[in-house]
């Protein structure tokens, strides 16, 4: 698949189609929302409720999780710079914001390099 045309590749290169929050939203799956809320609460040390697990994709029109919508520094930077993804930014290789993701996730790095 040509990732240039894939609107589900997030600004950071992660694949939103594989995100459990998006899957729960699309399927309207309350059990999955509850499981994701519990997992994310534990991972992030904050209280996340199942009602907060609603996202249709980072770069897609529609609902986004609170973190993705307003708090993600990568998304905020990409929107400010007006780039399709971080792969279109000249600072990709030196960026600390996206570096933590592409340094630990080969698929995300390849998705951005393909753009």
Give the number of domains in the chain. 1
Q: In whole angstroms, what is the distance from residue 74 CA to residue 105 CA?
A: 15
Q: At 6, is the pLDDT very low, low, confident or very high (cuts 50, 70, 90)?
A: confident
For the packed helices 20-27 and 30-44, what is the interaxial angle rounded to 10 degrees? 160
φ, ψ of residue 97 in degrees (nearest 5)? -60, -55
43-101, pLDDT tens digit by residue?
888 999 999 999 999 999 999 988 889 889 999 999 999 999 999 999 999 999 999 99
Please name the residues in contact with 60: beta carbons below 8 A apart, sequence gap of 6 or more. 7, 8, 16
Please name the residues in contact with 115: beta carbons below 8 A apart, sequence gap of 6 or more. 3, 4, 9, 84, 85, 87, 88
Confidence check: pLDDT of 107 > 90: yes
Confidence check: pLDDT of 4 > 50: no
Q: Which domain holds residue 56?
A: 3-113
Output the pLDDT for position 115: 64
Residue 110 in tokens: 């390849």
Confidence check: pLDDT of 9 > 70: yes
């Amino acid at each position: 698949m040509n990732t240039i045309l894939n609107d589900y590749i997030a600004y950071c290169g992660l694949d939103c189609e594989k995100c459990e929050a998006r899957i729960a939203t699309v399927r309207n799956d309350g059990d999955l929302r509850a499981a994701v809320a519990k997992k994310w609460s534990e991972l992030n040390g904050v209280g996340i409720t199942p009602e907060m697990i609603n996202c249709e994709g980072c770069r897609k029109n529609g609902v986004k999780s609170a973190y993705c919508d307003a708090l993600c520094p990568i998304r905020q930077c990409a929107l400010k710079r007006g780039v399709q993804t971080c792969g279109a930014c000249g600072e990709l290789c030196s960026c600390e914001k996206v570096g933590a993701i592409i340094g630990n996730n080969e698929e995300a790095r390849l998705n951005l390099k393909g753009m």
